[in-house]
Amino acid sequence: MNANVRDTSNTTPPVDAPQRSDGARDAVPAAQALPGAAGASPTFSPLYQQIKGLITQSLQAGEWKPGEIIPSEVDLASRYKVSQGTVRKAIDELAAENLLVRRQGRGTFVATHHEDRVQFRFLRLAPDSGEPHHPPSRLIECRRMRAPAEIARQLELRAGDGVILIRRMMDFSDRPTVLDEIWLPGSLFRGLTAEKLNEYKGPMYGLFEDEFGTRMIRAVEKVRAVAADDMTADLLKVPKGFPLLSVERVSFTYGDKPVEVRRGWYVTTEHHYQNELS
């Protein structure tokens, strides 16, 4: 779509145009029906959604880096030739999706994984008592290998493509609590080594963002109860067959491209998995 989008939200429709209370007349057609196509009908995309898409394209292209301020609503409205209200609605949605962060009196910034609020967005394990915190992690292994068929499917790779396997432990109150198995596309994370992981002091997603230009913007998780097998029992210091919470996550970057498969085993003796629904 052309960046110069005409804002029709404030224009008066023709006298014989249908007046609808649901705001449909404020939408502009994104695709037209093909002549003669049986049952075909045009699809519509609200103007603010189109502006949201253009801002997202700029984020994906790296025009504004994580942690940087983006242009003001007035400047963006001028850039896209739309009203400030249309831009504000687009930014509201991007902020709700944790792609942008509004800071009172300072402006709107590109979200970064270094912010606590974003870190806890992906780590949902909380203590039964006390405040949630980001625990230290211990690297168990980091190696390159060929993608198993299921991992390749989830990452949209070909079977046998190069991937990186990371295993790490997260300790809460000095107790092994989370065992993570992380799979990454080798082509996106060239140069990622155990040494680099050990040297980096921030969150792992912050490393992916800073060093490899890959930002996780959404994830899909599956949660189930499992019994600890020999390996997980040994690493988590629990008896074999101990009840664990299994969390499998596929994380996506811009363009809905999968860039991480993460399998976690959680000890929930003193912790619980917390999610907020709205």
CATH number of 47-110: 1.10.10.10
Q: Residue range 49-76: average pLDDT?
A: 91
Q: Where in the chain is the domain with CATH 1.10.10.10?
A: 47-110
CATH number of 125-273: 3.40.1410.10
pLDDT in tens, 206-223: 899 889 989 888 899 999
Q: Where in the chain is the domain with CATH 3.40.1410.10?
A: 125-273
pLDDT of the residue at 32: 38
Q: Band of the pLDDT at 278, cuts 50, 70, 90?
A: low
Which amino acid does the sequence have at 54?
L
Give the contacts of 127 (CB within 8 A, at least 6 positions apart): 172, 270, 271
The model's pTM is 0.72
pLDDT in tens, 17-53: 333 333 333 444 444 333 334 444 455 779 999 999 9
Give the contacts of 20 (CB within 8 A, at least 6 positions apart): none
Dist. CA 120–CA 50, nearest whole Å? 30
Q: Are 261 and 154 in contact (CB under 8 A)?
A: yes
User: pLDDT at residue 276 above 90?
Assistant: no
